[in-house]
Amino acid sequence: MGTRMKRDAAMRSFYMALVVPALFSGLAHATTVEEDMAWTGGLKAAYFADREILSDDLIVLEAPQRAENAAIVPVSIKAGIPQTEDRYIRTIWLFVDKNPGPLVGKFHFTPATGRADLGLRLRVDAYSPVRAIAETNDGQLHMSRRFVKASGGCSAPASSDPDAAREELGRMKFLVRHKDAEENSTRVEGNPPPSLAQLMIRHPNRSGFQMDQVTRHYAPAEFVKEVTVSFEGEEIFRAETSFAISENPSFRFYFAPRQEGAVTAVVTDTEGREFSETYDVSSVTGDVAARR
């Protein structure tokens, strides 16, 4: 009971903080200094202490200025360098400053990724900066930032069809598209071109901020917390994620299969469930991977 009371109070003040900017957004959106207060006022220090973060174009974050559906906000990150053994992006952090839990996730890449691009969908609970920070293998940090106008993504009812989502919990879909890689400018000489992959997971990814009006309790958080994708045993992509990922998480990333082989995706959630699928991937032909 005590916990709930505290949480109610916390949520109330959280909402109150949202009300004013939401009503006067047209006026408030002039100053980026104010927009970045959550970041400069503590978030940055909490995650990166006093490390220097370069605001350059090593990565470019793309996000809509206005999110039409705050529970499904598509964002993508494009890497300006290819993944090579000498130099590669090893981690990308993604934040929505004003979300109740600002860290959306940490995404890990390897040279085998080919290209550290990433596409996914977020919940955005308020008008907020969204920022991606890439750490290269030499330990440098590079940031790209966008401001997104959206609200209610975390507390808004996520699912329009909860029964359908529940019935298929854990089902996955894995797609590989070699064609898209043909025009890939960051291809490394001598290596196969990276292929675009998409991993989709059926999961409610419930935020824990949706209140049940009857019981006055919040529906407990239930979300995917880790996704590991490997090719022939070698990790190519790993995500540590939060409820800020939309229902039915979808990740688009690249990898460069050097030969035909098996891709395995392992997903674990906050309930301790583990889902796993293995797919055959041809390095040359075929767009859709077959499930083993």
Binding site for another protein (CB under 8 A): 15, 19, 22-23, 25-26, 62, 64, 68-69, 72, 74-76, 119, 121, 152, 155-157, 160-164, 168, 173, 175, 177, 179-180, 196, 200, 202, 210-215, 219, 246-248, 250, 252, 287
**What does DSSP assign to residue 246?**
P
Please identify, using beta-carbon distances, which residue of 113 and 246 lies nearer to another protein.
246
Minimal distance, residue 53 CB to another protein, in Å: 25
What 3-state class would DSSP assign to 46? helix
Contacts for 199 with CB less than 8 Å, ≥ 6 apart: 172, 173, 174, 227, 229, 250, 251, 253, 265
Q: Which is nearer to another protein, 24 or 40 (CB)?
A: 24
- Least separation in angstroms between residue 90's CB and another protein is 24
- Report the alpha-carbon distance of residue 153 to residue 156 in Å, rounded: 5
Return the structure tokens found at 174: 């894995």
- Taking the complex as a whole, the smallest distance from the CB of residue 206 to another protein amounts, in Å, to 10
Q: What is the CA radius of gyration of the chain?
A: 20
Nearest distance, CB of residue 55 and another protein, angstroms: 23
* H-helix segments, the chain: 2-23, 25-28, 32-35, 37-38, 44-48, 162-167
Q: Which is nearer to another protein, 27 or 33 (CB)?
A: 27
Q: Return the number of the residue (36 or 180) whose C-beta is nearest another protein.
A: 180
Amino acid code (one letter) for 188:
V
Nearer to another protein, 5 or 49 (CB): 5
Q: How many CA atoms lie within 13 A of 279 on its CB side?
A: 23
Nearer CB in complex with another protein: 90/252: 252
Q: What is the nearest approach in angstroms of another protein to the Cβ of residue 111? A: 24
φ/ψ of 284, rounded to 5, equals -115, -50
Task: Classify 65 as helix, strand or coil.
Answer: coil
Listed in sequence order, the residues at least 6 apart from 107 whose beta carbon sits closer than 8 Å to its beta carbon are: 91, 92, 93, 94, 118, 237, 238, 239, 240, 253
Measured from the CB of residue 27, what is the shortest distance to another protein in angstroms?
10
Instruction: Work out how close the CB of 235 gets to another protein at its nearest, in angstroms, rounded to a whole number.
Output: 24
Cβ nearer to another protein, comparing 148 with 256: 148
